Amino acid sequence: MNGCCYSDNVEVYYGSTPKYKLEINAGLPMSEFDFEVKLSCGDNSLTVKKADMPVGDDGSYYVCFDTTRLGIGPVKAVVTAFIPDGDYFSRVRKEVTVANGPIIIKRT
């Protein structure tokens, strides 16, 4: 499973609300399984659930967040996907990965 894929510009200013395309290669369209992204910076964190992500015309999901909820500094993004899998008793396989590339929130 691959995690987020950030745009080229990974430095954003405090107060902005950036949007990043999320790519999860699980062998299924992303519309067919649940996922979330936990963003953390210092002692602050927030979780963006699939239901709260905008969907592009091509079916891509986008992680959008308010930088004022995280603070200043590097942001860690942890992607958790809940993938249907008949080999598991629960019928769901949980995959966790850290997203590729850092986001850095800077002071204006």
Q: Which domains does the chain have, with CATH numbers?
A: 11-106 (2.60.40.10)
The whole-number pLDDT of residue 101 equals 66
| 2 pLDDT tier (thresholds 50, 70, 90) | very low
Token pair of 1, please? 């499973």
> Is the model's pLDDT at 49 over the cut of 90?
yes
Average pLDDT, the chain: 89
**What is the rounded distance in angstroms from the CA atom of residue 76 to the CA atom of residue 54?**
21
Kindly report the pTM of this predicted structure. 0.87
**What is the rounded distance in angstroms from the CA atom of residue 59 to the CA atom of residue 57?**
6
Percent of the chain with pLDDT over 90: 70
The whole-number pLDDT of residue 45 equals 96
User: Average of pLDDT values for 85-91?
Assistant: 94
Q: For 7-25, what is each residue's pLDDT tens digit? A: 445 889 999 999 888 989 8
